[in-house]
Amino acid sequence: MDYQPEAEDAWQVMSTSEKGFVSRYAVGRDYHKIIRSRLAKLADRIRRELGSGEFRAFVDSAPVLERAVAEQSGLGWIAKNTMLINESAGSYFFLGEIYTDIPLPHSNPKQEKHCGSCSACLTACPTDAFVAPFVLDARRCISYLTIEHEGSIAEDLRAKMGNRIYGCDDCQLVCPWNKFATISTEPDFAPRWDLDNPNLVELFSWTEDQFSERLQGSPIRRIGHEKWLRNIAVALGNAETSAEILQALKSRENHASSVVREHVAWALNQHN
């Protein structure tokens, strides 16, 4: 399901230091619920048509190797950036699955990877997370660091993160195949709360209640307020120095979380 929204230019946002960049899949509503609901409806329709069969829908909701399954089914190939690429849709799409016991015709897997000699994704990675073509060191990946990683972010990676506060799209933005990606017409994927071009100081001022309320139904809400502040503190540390940014950072110097305090102290030190 295509997800690329009508949004502010990603490169423009990343080059404006007082702004924050959010991976384009996350600027709208949570895709998990949207796609899983539609898959469940599709499964019900198939069951009614056949009068039998067991079905279960998945969208990142179980240990399903989605990209490998998709490649084996012929939907695309796993590229050098470890994303699944479809030759007519690029990589800006979500995957979902229905597991079933009904007999289906065999699908032929993609036999070729159409990356050729291109290495744009490998060299574009801000943290050099690609240790080789088709091999990603998740410990250095900004998407992992800002979403899944608990606790402190390694100091040597913080400056490289720029103003990316949730996820990272760089390896997709430079991929030539994404010239074929289409803009999604799904209203739920449209940006909310200006997350396609947000002001870092404003986001940093959100209380925990505001964070929970405003990001209701967003995939970002899952990381929690502490990680949210940690990520933004890093971005503020990488921003151009201004009185507004210094004031924002100092407002969190004595935050209850030691993780937030650590990253705020680092950010202030960057400006000093």
Q: Predicted confidence band at 208 (pLDDT cuts at 50, 70, 90)?
A: very high
Could you report the per-residue pLDDT of 145-184, keeping only the tens digit for each? 999 999 999 999 999 999 999 999 999 999 999 999 999 9
For residue 191, which of 212, 214, 207 has the smallest C-alpha distance?
A: 214
pLDDT at 4 > cutoff 90: yes
pLDDT at 272 over 90: no
> Any catalytic annotation for residue 60?
yes
How much is the pLDDT for 52?
Answer: 87
Q: What local confidence, expressed as pLDDT, does residue 197 receive? A: 98
Question: Residue 220 in contact with residue 25, Cβ under 8 Å?
Answer: no
Catalytic residue among 60, 137, 188, 194: 60
E strands, 73-125, are 77-78, 84-85, 97-100
Over the stretch 246-270, which tens digit does the pLDDT of each residue have? 999 999 999 999 999 999 999 999 9
pLDDT computed for residue 110 by the predictor: 81
Residue 205 has pLDDT above 90, yes or no: yes
Which token pair is 30?
A: 């949570």
pLDDT at 200: 98
Write out pLDDT tens, residues 64-123: 999 999 999 999 999 999 999 999 999 999 999 999 999 888 888 888 899 999 999 999
The predicted structure's pLDDT at residue 175: 98
Please return the burial class of 131, using the count of CB atoms within 10 Å of its CB with bins 0-12, 13-18 and 19+: exposed
Domain ranges of the chain: 1-272
* Residue-level pLDDT at 61: 80
pLDDT reported for residue 60: 87
pLDDT of residue 111: 81
Whether pLDDT at 226 is above 90? yes
CA dist., res. 9 & res. 197, Å (int): 9
pLDDT, tens digit (0-9, with 9 covering 90-100), for 123-149: 999 999 999 999 999 999 999 999 999
Amino acid at 37: S
DSSP 126-162: TT--EEETTEE-GGG-HHHHHHT--SPPPHHHHGGGT
In the block, residue with structure tokens 């997709």: 172
* pLDDT of amino acid 176: 98
Instruction: Kindly state the tokens that stand for 186.
Output: 């799904």
109-118, 214-223, 228-237: the lowest-pLDDT one: 109-118
Average pLDDT for 44-66: 91
Strands 135-136 and 55-58: unpaired
Q: At 248, is the secondary structure helix, strand, or coil?
A: helix
